[in-house]
Structure 1
């Protein structure tokens, strides 16, 4: 990006040029457009609950209903162990980071196609779109967390000092969704089939994550491979922070964070390298 002065003018217009370097990511511009990020997040929250009968209550109803179904099927019928804690709290503590991750991934994965009119009309850092889409579900997470506190009081589950680490596991869920979402939303611009794959991917991913069951049910010989799923560390860490259940495997957590970091860096590079063609293809 270069600045050139107009003759007989005090204004300095901005000349926008595409990135010529693969690693010229231009991340500094994200801070310059931070107010737009706030607007996009707020718009996504408003649009999500616009013209709904119960409004933002869906942020609470969805995880509560899922928790009730899990409690009946996995807790009562299948007798899945819950680390010695009441199964409703056990399941709900996992549903919070999982629902945040799934909603963030679903929205970010289709965010570019959903904002096609905005992309073709005005310039701004395109990375703001999936970033805003991944951030908006934090509002749902906040309201759901209030329900979790109520469940803990009802079942007399005492919070632990591990709750200080909750932001770390929320951040891991956020970065996991953003990392995968960057790849999916970029591919979705050219291959619209990706939009149909995302819901199936999320559904399959849930069963591959310890949402309805503890990670200890996975055989020891598969633990390393299982840890490549970044949501394993996030969910188990969330449970440990909330209930003081079995201490998470910090080696597995480190593997998960490594996978997230590589996926995120690769996703940003792929996104920035491809964004010059978004307006032409979308």
Structure 2
């Protein structure tokens, strides 16, 4: 059977070269270099922690909420870096697309892999911080791997949509900045999901469940906090006995990936003419 082009040796070699080059050039001119990949989320965490945890007392009823806050920030950064970098990737490699014939998806995947490497460095910091904070390691912590994979598929699927649209619609960049900013505050990152339940009146639990059902990032953040930090962080599958309802955010993320890849494949035929 003929091997699919997506798995061809040329694509893998090109992907490896692009990831390596992008990662080396990202902080080439900065004094601290690769340390910025860790320092940026830590500085954001420090600000959020002082304002929302220390002064506004968000998450006072949640065990190890400081760790949960840091984890939420790096998960969101992975989503934001993947989608934003992916959106700009095709236009940014216009010369390469016009000179070499290869599968265009490689450009978007290479951009996402750079974001994934940054996440790996940040995740090590989270683990160290969690241990210092008294979080006890357990075998259930390994469930974080499929959760991160779900996040990666969701972000990559959106990247395929955005990168294909950005070729024709350059106004998409500032629009997406506003969308991600709104999404950050709509996702329980700087506040626990229990705050929605307790401060939204009698309909609070319903609003919390809807947030987890309709916002895949909310489900991902809560599941990650549940398996990595404390079972006290509620999840959608802990709030409902309906299997289809509990699995919907995961199915939705998979659908976004598949539809994004299909949309990108159709539009990629015309990239070399437009970029």
After TM superposition, the score normalised by the length of structure 1 is: 0.85
Task: State the Cα RMSD in Å.
Answer: 1.9
What CA distance in whole angstroms lies between the structure 2 residues aligned with 1:27 and 1:195?
A: 36
Contact 1:82/1:214 (8 A) holds in 2: no
Other-structure match for 1:225: 210
- Of 147, 152, 173, the residue aligned with 1:169 is 147
Aligned positions, number: 257
How far 1:86 moved relative to its partner? 3.1
Q: Does 1:261 pair with 2:254?
A: yes
Contact 2:87/2:162 (8 A) holds in 1: yes
How far 1:253 moved relative to its partner? 5.2
Q: Does 1:189 pair with 2:167?
A: yes
How far 1:161 moved relative to its partner? 2.5
Contact 1:94/1:211 (8 A) holds in 2: yes
What CA distance in whole angstroms lies between the structure 2 residues aligned with 1:222 and 1:87?
A: 21
Q: Does 1:93 pair with 2:79?
A: no
Structure ID, larger Rg: 1
Cα deviations across residues 28-57 of structure 1 (Å, max 9, x unaligned)?
A: 212102121111211221121111111110
What CA distance in whole angstroms lies between the structure 1 residues aligned with 2:4 and 2:73?
A: 34
- Of 256, 260, 279, the residue aligned with 2:272 is 279
The list of structure 1 runs, each at least 4 consecutive aligned residues, that deviate by more than 6 angstroms after superposition, is none
Rate the CA distance shift 1:225–1:270 in 2: closer, same or farther, 3 A. Answer: same
Q: Does 1:102 pair with 2:87?
A: no
SS of the residue 2:59 aligns to: coil
Other-structure match for 1:248: 235
Contact 1:159/1:244 (8 A) holds in 2: no
Rate the CA distance shift 1:138–1:125 in 2: closer, same or farther, 3 A. Answer: same
- Of 84, 102, 115, the residue aligned with 2:93 is 115
Q: How is 1:205-216 mapped onto 2 (pairs within 5 angstroms)?
A: 205-216=183-194
Rate the CA distance shift 1:80–1:212 in 2: closer, same or farther, 3 A. Answer: same
Contact 1:108/1:133 (8 A) holds in 2: yes
After TM superposition, the score normalised by the length of structure 2 is: 0.87
Q: Which runs of 5+ in 1 are unaligned?
A: 1-25
What CA distance in whole angstroms lies between the structure 2 residues aligned with 1:217 and 1:139?
A: 32
What CA distance in whole angstroms lies between the structure 2 residues aligned with 1:29 and 1:117?
A: 22
How far 1:279 moved relative to its partner? 1.0
Other-structure match for 2:102: 124
What CA distance in whole angstroms lies between the structure 1 residues aligned with 2:122 and 2:191?
A: 20
SS of the residue 2:214 aligns to: coil
Rate the CA distance shift 1:119–1:50 in 2: closer, same or farther, 3 A. Answer: same
How far 1:27 moved relative to its partner? 9.6
- Of 90, 93, 118, the residue aligned with 1:140 is 118
What CA distance in whole angstroms lies between the structure 2 residues aligned with 1:165 and 1:185?
A: 31
Contact 2:63/2:230 (8 A) holds in 1: no
Higher helix share: 2
Rate the CA distance shift 1:173–1:139 in 2: closer, same or farther, 3 A. Answer: same
- The worse-fitting range, judged by mean Cα deviation, of 147-156 and 183-192 is 147-156
